[in-house]
Every structure is written in C-alpha cells, then in structure tokens.
Amino acid sequence: MNSRRPVASHVAVRDGHILGAGTLEELAGWGSYELDERFADKVIMPGLVEGHAHSWEGSAWEDTFVGFMERTAPNGIRHQGCGSIDQVVDRLIKVEAALTDPDEALMAWGFDPIFFDGRRMNLADLDRVSTTRPVLVMHASGHIVNGNSMLLERGNITARTNVQGLMKDANGQPTGELQGPALRQIAYKAAGKDRFLDMGKGEALWRFAFSAQRAGVTTATDLANELPEATVESMTALTARDDFPLRIVPAFVGMSCSADDGIARVKSLIPRSNDKLRFGLIKLVADGSIQGFTARLKWPGYYNGAENGLWYIDPEELPRRLAAYHEAGLQVHIHTNGDQATEVTIDSIEQVLRNAPDADARFTLQHCQMAHDAHFRRMARLGICVNLFANHLYYWGDQHYAHTMGPERAHRMDAVGTAHKLGVAYAIHSDAPVTHLAPLFTAWCAVNRVTATGRVLGESERINVEDALHAITLGAAFTLKLDTEIGSIETGKRADFAILDDDPLTVDPMRLKDIPIWGTVTGGEIFPCSEIDCA
C-alpha cells in the first residue's frame, strides 16, 4: 500500500518495525540479516485495520450464537445461521443439554427476526429449551431480548406489569419479548449477568484478538467503551504481552458523563497507552440503527411507514459536546446512521470548526449509511472522514430494499463510490459483532455491492479492489490518526502484516472474501491462525 512501491519481493524487519521493502539486494544494505522464507508462497499485505469493531466481539462468544448468517467463532468453529425460530430453539436445546450447573442462565445472541416474516418468538418457544433455568436471547439490534418463563419469574415480570415495552398477547399475558432499556436491564439482572463488565474481562479480550487475527487484522478499534478501571487494567496488561496479537484503539463513550469529566478521564488514560494500546479517541452516538427503525431519517422517512427513530444525543447538545472535546484536543468519532443524524452532525462540526478552526481534526462519521452526495461534498470541504458500513449491503441490503429505505435509497446506501469520487477520506467496517469481523469480506462488499439474495445495490457506488484494500488499511489508519505508524509496508512503520494464501489483486473480485488467511504479524511477532488456542 506504499504507492511508490506497491509490490515488493522482500520486507526487512528490525525491532518490531519495518526497515524497508524491496529486493533482497536493496535490503541487504541495512546490514547482516537472517532470511526467513516461510512466507515465500504467501502474499504479505499491510496488517488490516478494522476501524469500527467492539470488544463485545470477544464477550459475545461466551453466549450461544443464534444469528441468521453463518459465523465463525474466535476458536475457528463455524456456526451455521439459524434460518427460523425453530432452528434457534433446537440449537438452544442442544446447548442446554450440555450445561452442568442447574441454575446457570442460558444466554444467546444475534437473533434477527427481521428475516422471519410474521411470527415472533414467544415464551412457549423458549420454555421448550428449559423451564428450570433462565433463558435469554438477545436480538441482533441489541435493544430487544426474549426470555423464557423462568427469566420472567426471576425478573418478577407478570401480566400485571405495566410498562410500554412488555409485549403481551391477546389475553394480556407476556409473550416473553422485552423491549427497551428498563426491561433489558431487568432481564440481565434476572439472568445474573452484567454485559458491560463481561466485555472487559481478559478472556473476552483474548477472543477479540483471536477473532481479529483470523481476519488478518492487526489493529482494531473498540468503539466504544466506558473504560472502567478494571477494563483498563486488563487492556494494559494484555497488550503489554509479546504474545498478544492485536493493537487496540478504544474509544471512550463521550456521553455518559459531563464533557469535563470525560476529558479528564481520557487525558488520565492517554499516558497509560503502549505500543499496542492507544487511548484518546472519543465516540458520540447521534441516533439508532436503520434495521431497528431507530435511525433518524429526513423526510419522507421509512419506506414501510415506521415512525422516525430516536436521538441518542440532543441535536442542540451535540455541537457543545463536540466543541468541548475538540477544544480539549481530543479526536471525536460520531455514530450517525440516518441522513438526518448525518446532516445534524455535519452542521454541528461546521459550527465547531468555525469557532476553533482545525484543518486536520479528522472528525469521523461512523456508519453514515444514508449520506447523500451533498453531505459528502460538505464532508470533503470540512475535512470530515467517513467510515462506511459496507457489510450492511450484504447482511441487510434486501431488508433495506424491501422495508427500511425502499429501492431508490437502498441503492445509495454506504455510498463508497461517492465518497471516493468526491475526495472524502474513507474507511469501511464490520461493527463486529453486529456483522462478522473480516475486512476482506468488507472490501468484497464495497467492490461488488451484492446482497444476501444476490441483488446488486448501487452499481455506480462500487469501488475497485485497490481502493477497497486501501480502505481497510491506510484508509482506516487515517481515521484513527495512526497513518504514520501503520497501514502500509514501508520504512519506519510498525511490522504489522496480514499473511494471505492468495493475492487479492489477482483473484476474481467475487472471491475476495474467500481468500484464506494464514495469520498475522504484529510488531514483528508471527501469529499463525493454526496455533490459536481458545475455548
């Protein structure tokens, strides 16, 4: 990805950094060397950079996966997708049979009923799994859970419970579907679990790192994290180890406390950064998700007539928060899914930059799935970066076409081609574990723009393979202000590589996602996927 030297036969590494790339003869000038030929028949790429993932990718796998699309766990086991509610239940029955502690809750994640037209999951379904231990199934949206009768009993949720998000049947009995933050938190408490605490545990970070390694990723964000002390301690301890394969860039949740407290917290964390851990990034969330119908849309709104989504931050407060962090010298990434959220965020950044000009602030819009050409033009002029959610095109493209956006706007979603043409600095991402962590798959999505059923969305928004590979390396590094350190193979950068079995520039672009990944090199340390040891 060094534009002056896109292809080389050899790379020289010293002290965890790249001495240079070129011919053996050129590199011999650096002095004596040890020639390592184990990658002679492999393709060495810059270590891939995932600009939007979550350490939740690691903790999620403590629970049973029941998503619609097939998924590979960090331990390499491939889990088939669940194509129906019955398949979800069957999988949970098998898992339940293997549990030894009779009181332990059975937790599942990734359930995505948008693919199942019609029937909702109910108590009878999950009571088939168990009537004696709590069973909790979290939906892919993260906002809804289903429980069995025992979970509701432990949570003291009955027909008399009168809250909006408690779904009831025609007889007034709870169906087991629990919507909204209060019911969700009660459900977790009833199951005896703490989702946020789990994410910071060491085992979860190891699994996150292994999941990244399998995908050729050497740097990933954790976007975002409250960064409680226990999490910071496990992050600093693990990333200091030579055998930990991943660089982590955690972003601090910049809206759960006052901006002053947030600034103080992040500034106290920055000195605790190390070679594989970089504090300093702030994340704000403007709205919800499109497939959850919680994204904020401009007129005429959702194609199926669903009411407009939710602001997660007051549009009048957004510029104040942005200004506070920006003026404290901290970089901010902002989640904006719907076009109204994107527009309000661009307006806010414009206002912030007018008061405190900075041509290189690299505010980055995360997801930004519905941005219009006019938004990209303004982003280019204001120096705003974008990280587009290309995986959505495959995962939910058909649902966007049919339900959320309708045909015309579905074609302009995740408009990578427009970002490229208009000169916006861009990356593409997975939002793992929302979709699977695999930048080559993400690149495949941006290059082909094919949905799960094979429909092409927005042919004119396709980019070529070279540009897609740039987006998952230097492009993502740029959004993190790490492009001087990582993202390309050239003198002085960190010795981070993805080791592939095939050349992404010569395979059929429709096969980009299928290129086997041998492993990674992080800071000169070699990490073969075959040696991953994890439960």
Residues of this chain that interact with another protein (CB under 8 A) are: 155-157, 161-165, 180-183, 185-186, 189, 196, 226, 253, 256-258, 260-261, 296, 298-299, 307-308, 310-317, 340, 344
Residue 271 CB, nearest distance to another protein (Å)? Answer: 19
- Whether a cis peptide bond, with omega within 30° of 0, leads into 224 is yes
b/e per residue, 367-380, with b = 16+ CB within 10 A?
A: bbbbbbeebbebbb
- Nearer residue to another protein within complex by CB, 146 or 340: 340
Residue 264 CB, nearest distance to another protein (Å)? Answer: 9
Q: DSSP for 28-55?
A: HTT-------TTTTSEEEEPEEESSB-T
Quote the tokens at residue 294. Answer: 């919680």
- Nearer residue to another protein within complex by CB, 77 or 197: 197
Q: Measured at the alpha carbon of residue 391, what is the angle toward residues 388 and 395, in degrees to the nearest 5?
A: 140
Contacts of 266 (CB under 8 A, 6+ apart): 252, 279, 280, 282, 330
- Distances from the Cα of 463 to the Cαs of 313, 367, 442, 514, in angstroms? 33, 17, 12, 18
SS3 426: strand
- Distances from the Cα of 65 to the Cαs of 1, 71, 106, 391, 399, in angstroms? 36, 8, 11, 19, 21
Give the H or E element holding residue 234.
helix 229-239
Query: What secondary structure letter does DSSP report for 431?
Result: T
The closest of 146, 144, 142 to 134, measured between CA atoms, is: 146
SS3 527: strand
- Nearer residue to another protein within complex by CB, 187 or 390: 187
Q: Measured at the alpha carbon of residue 479, what is the angle toward residues 476 and 484, in degrees to the nearest 5?
A: 80
Burial of 271 (0-12, 13-18, 19+ CB in 10 A): exposed
Residue 347 CB, nearest distance to another protein (Å)? Answer: 10
Burial of 61 (0-12, 13-18, 19+ CB in 10 A): buried
Q: Do 219 and 47 contact (CB within 8 A), yes or no?
A: yes
- Nearer residue to another protein within complex by CB, 311 or 518: 311
Residue 181 CB, nearest distance to another protein (Å)? Answer: 6
Q: Cα(132)–Cα(151) distance, rounded to whole angstroms?
A: 9
- Nearer residue to another protein within complex by CB, 84 or 256: 256
Burial of 118 (0-12, 13-18, 19+ CB in 10 A): exposed
- Nearer residue to another protein within complex by CB, 181 or 357: 181
Residue 211 CB, nearest distance to another protein (Å)? Answer: 24
- Nearer residue to another protein within complex by CB, 49 or 186: 186
- Nearer residue to another protein within complex by CB, 72 or 308: 308
- Nearer residue to another protein within complex by CB, 56 or 311: 311
- For tokens 């993932």, the residue is 53
Q: Cα(88)–Cα(82) distance, rounded to whole angstroms?
A: 6
Q: Do 23 and 29 contact (CB within 8 A), yes or no?
A: no
- Nearer residue to another protein within complex by CB, 81 or 165: 165
Residue 420, φ and ψ in degrees, nearest 5:
-65, -50
- Nearer residue to another protein within complex by CB, 84 or 156: 156
Residue 238 CB, nearest distance to another protein (Å)? Answer: 23
Residue 336 CB, nearest distance to another protein (Å)? Answer: 13
Residue 186 CB, nearest distance to another protein (Å)? Answer: 5
- Nearer residue to another protein within complex by CB, 276 or 296: 296
Query: What secondary structure letter does DSSP report for 137?
Result: E
Residue 230 CB, nearest distance to another protein (Å)? Answer: 14
- Nearer residue to another protein within complex by CB, 265 or 421: 265
Residue 296 CB, nearest distance to another protein (Å)? Answer: 8
Residue 61 CB, nearest distance to another protein (Å)? Answer: 22
Residue 294 CB, nearest distance to another protein (Å)? Answer: 12
Residue 456 CB, nearest distance to another protein (Å)? Answer: 32
Quote the tokens at residue 247. Answer: 């660089």
